[in-house]
Amino acid sequence: MSLTLRVDGERWRAHLLATATRHPGIVPVAKGNGYGLTLGRLARRAQWLADHVERTGARLDMLAVGTYDEVGEAASRYDGDLLVLTPWRPFGAALDLDARTTSRVVHTVSRPEDLTALLERDPDARFVLEQLTSMRRHGMTRRDLAVAADVVRRHGGERGGLRGVAMHLPLNTTSHLGEVSRLVNDIVASGLPARTVFVSHLTHDEHARLATTYPDFTVRPRIGTDLWLGDRGALSVSSTVLDVHEVERGEAFGYRQRSAPKHGHIVVVSGGTAHGIGLEAPTGDQSFKARAATLARGGMDAVGFVRSPFSIDGKQRLFAEPPHMQASMLFVPSGARVPRIGEDIEVRVRFTATDFDRVVID
C-alpha cells in the first residue's frame, strides 16, 4: 500500500562503479531528498563506493552535500570530507556545526567579505572559492577573486585552508569549454595558489580536454544526477491500487464532488502531494506551444481532466481530481481494464521532487 521505488541493486551498483572509474577524482553529490533514494542511503553508498574505488588506486575522499543542515546525517554515514555546496554566510546553520564534524567540512565561499569573516571565526577552516559562472547564482567575479587571493595570502597561502575553486555551470546543450577556460584564466590572473577545480555539469570528453589543455590543474567533477540516476533502467516506481469504485455518468465523487463524465471507474492509488505527486516545477520552455499547453492544462484542471503520472497497461490515466495528500483518484473509462485492489501500477516521477514510502534495493 505504498509508493515504492525499486532498485535493481546489481545493475545500479555496477553503474556507480563504472561512473566513478570513468571520472577520476569524482565528488559524489548527495543533497535534498537524496535524488529520491534518501540522503542517508546515498551517504552510505558513497562510503561503499569510496572503499571499492580505493582498491583500484583512485580516490573518492569527498562527498558534497547541499546545506549545512545536511552535514550531520551525511557525517554519520560517510568517513571522508564533506563539501557544503551552499555558500558560507556569517549567520544561520553555518555557525552551528557539531564540533566533531567541523574538521571534516570544506566550506564554499562566494564573497570576499565572507572569506574574511570565516577565517576570523575559524583560522583553520578549509574552503573552496566559488566563481561566478553564467548561472549567476553564487560566486566571485574576476575582481572578487583577486581580492580573495589577497585574503588567502594573509592567512597562510598554500599552507592555509584553500582547497580549490568551484564552478557551478548551467545545464547546456553546447560545450562549456570556452567558459571554463575563461574561468581558469581568471584563477591564474588572480594569483591564487589553487590548482584544483571542482566543476559540475561537464561531460567526460570535456573533462579529458581540460586535462590536456591545463595539465597543471586537477579537475574534480561534482556529479549527482548522472551518478545516482544515470541508469534509469535500474530504477522503477510503483503505486498500489487501494480501492476501485464503479461510477455512472453524472455521479458525484471526491472532495469537490465533481461529476463523472461518463461510465467508468474511480481508481484510488497510493501517492499524493505529500510524496510530490501532482506538484509541477516551473518549466524553462518559453515557446508559444509550451505556454498554450500550460493554459490548456489549467482549463482541464477546472473539470478534472489532467493527465496523471500513473499508468495502467502502459497508458497514462487521468486524475479524476487533484491529488490528495497521500492518495490519488484516477478515472478509468468504460472498456479499459480495471486494475484489482492490491495491484501495483507504474508511476513516472521526478526523482528529485519525490519522497517514496519505501525504497527497495534488490
Tell me the pLDDT tens digit for each residue of 84-129.
Answer: 999 999 999 999 888 878 999 999 999 999 999 999 999 999 999 9
Q: Do 210 and 279 share a domain, yes or no?
A: no
- pTM exceeds 0.75, yes or no: yes
Q: Quote the pLDDT of residue 296.
A: 41
Considering only 55-59, 79-83, 240-244, 247-251, which range has the smallest mean pLDDT?
Answer: 55-59
Q: What is the mean pLDDT of the chain?
A: 90
Q: Over pLDDT 70: what percentage of the chain? A: 91
Q: How much is the pLDDT for 39?
A: 97
Q: What is the mean pLDDT of residues 277-298?
A: 56
- Binning pLDDT at 50, 70 and 90, where does residue 59 land? confident
Residue 1: inside a domain: no
Task: State the Cα–Cα distance between residues 307 and 322, nearest whole angstrom.
Answer: 10
Same domain, 99 and 221: yes
pLDDT band at 297 (very low <50, low <70, confident <90, very high): very low
- How large is the average pLDDT for residues 124-141? 95
So what's the pLDDT on residue 3? 97
Query: For residue range 302-318, what is the model confidence (pLDDT) as tens digits?
Result: 445 689 999 999 999 99
- Tell me the three cell numbers of residue 54: 580505493
Q: How confident is the model at residue 286 (pLDDT cuts 50, 70, 90)?
A: low
Among 154-168, 206-220, 229-243, name the one with the lowest average pLDDT.
154-168
Q: Tell me the average pLDDT across 56-64.
A: 86
d(CA 334, CA 263): 6
* Amino acid, single-letter form, for residue 309: P
| Paired sense of beta strands 258-259 and 27-28, if any | unpaired
> 132 or 173, which is more confident?
132
Distance CA 9, CA 284 (A): 33
Check whether 255 has a pLDDT greater than 80: yes
Domain boundary among 215, 230, 245: 230
Q: What is the pLDDT of residues 170-198, one digit of tens each?
A: 887 678 888 999 999 999 999 999 999 99
Q: How far apart are CA 333 and CA 316, in angstroms?
A: 12
Q: Which of 105-119, 157-171, 254-268 has the lowest mean pLDDT?
A: 157-171
* Same domain? 17 vs 142: yes
DSSP letter at 131?
Answer: B
Residue with cell 575563461: 182
Q: What's 58's domain CATH number?
A: 3.20.20.10
Q: Give the pLDDT score at 298.
A: 43
**Pairing between strand 235-247 and 252-253?**
unpaired
Identify the residue whose cell numbers are 583553520.
Answer: 124
Tell me, yes or no, whether 37 lies in a domain. Answer: yes
Detail the DSSP E strand segments found in the chain.
3-7, 27-28, 62-65, 81-84, 105-109, 126-130, 162-168, 196-200, 218-223, 235-247, 252-253, 258-259, 264-270, 306-312, 315-319, 327-333, 344-347, 358-361
Dist CA 272 CA 207 (whole Å): 40
Same-domain pairing of 215 and 299? no
pLDDT above 90 for 212: no
Same domain, 153 and 244: no
Q: Is residue 2 part of a domain?
A: no
Of 230, 253, 280, the one marking the end of a domain is 230
Verify that 127 and 56 share a domain, yes or no. yes
Q: Is the dihedral of CA 56, 17, 360, 48 positive or negative?
A: positive
Question: Are residue 94 and residue 159 in the same domain, yes or no?
Answer: yes
Q: Are residues 75 and 198 in the same domain?
A: yes
Shared domain check, 146 and 31: yes
- Whether residue 159 is found in the same domain as residue 285: no
Confidence at residue 279, expressed as pLDDT on a 0 to 100 scale:
77
The answer to whether position 3 is within a domain reads: no
Q: Domain for residue 40, yes or no? A: yes
Sole residue written with cell 583560522:
123
The count of residues in the chain is: 362
Going by C-alpha positions, the residue among 137, 117, 141 that lies closest to residue 127 is: 117
Rounded Cα distance between 28 and 59, Å, is 12
Query: Residue 158's pLDDT band (boundaries 50, 70, 90)?
Result: low
Strand partners, 319: 306, 330
Q: Is the pLDDT assigned to residue 58 strictly greater than 90?
A: no
Q: Which of 230, 257, 277 is the last residue of a domain?
A: 230
Question: Same structural domain for residues 150 and 244?
Answer: no
Cβ-contact 270, 240 below 8 angstroms: yes
Contact 197, 141 (CB under 8 A): no
Q: Which long-range contacts (CB under 8 A, 24 or more apart) does 101-110 make?
A: 101/71, 101/72, 101/75, 104/75, 104/80, 105/71, 105/81, 106/62, 106/81, 106/82, 106/163, 108/83, 108/84, 108/138, 108/166, 109/148, 110/138, 110/139, 110/140
3 state DSSP class of 122: coil
Taking each helix axis from N to C terminus, what angle separates 39-54 and 9-22, rounded to the nearest 10 degrees?
60
Task: Report the pLDDT value the prediction gives residue 209, as an integer from 0 to 100.
Answer: 87
Question: What pLDDT is attached to residue 56?
Answer: 75
Backbone φ and ψ of 108, nearest 5°:
-105, 125
Range of the domain at 318: 234-361
Q: What CATH number is given to the structural domain containing 309?
A: 2.40.37.10
* Domain shared by 199 and 283, yes or no: no
pLDDT computed for residue 174 by the predictor? 77
Work out how many domains the chain is built from and give that number: 2
Task: Write the pLDDT tens digit of every residue in 10-25.
Answer: 999 999 999 999 998 9
Cα dihedral value 79, 80, 84, 85, nearest 10: -120
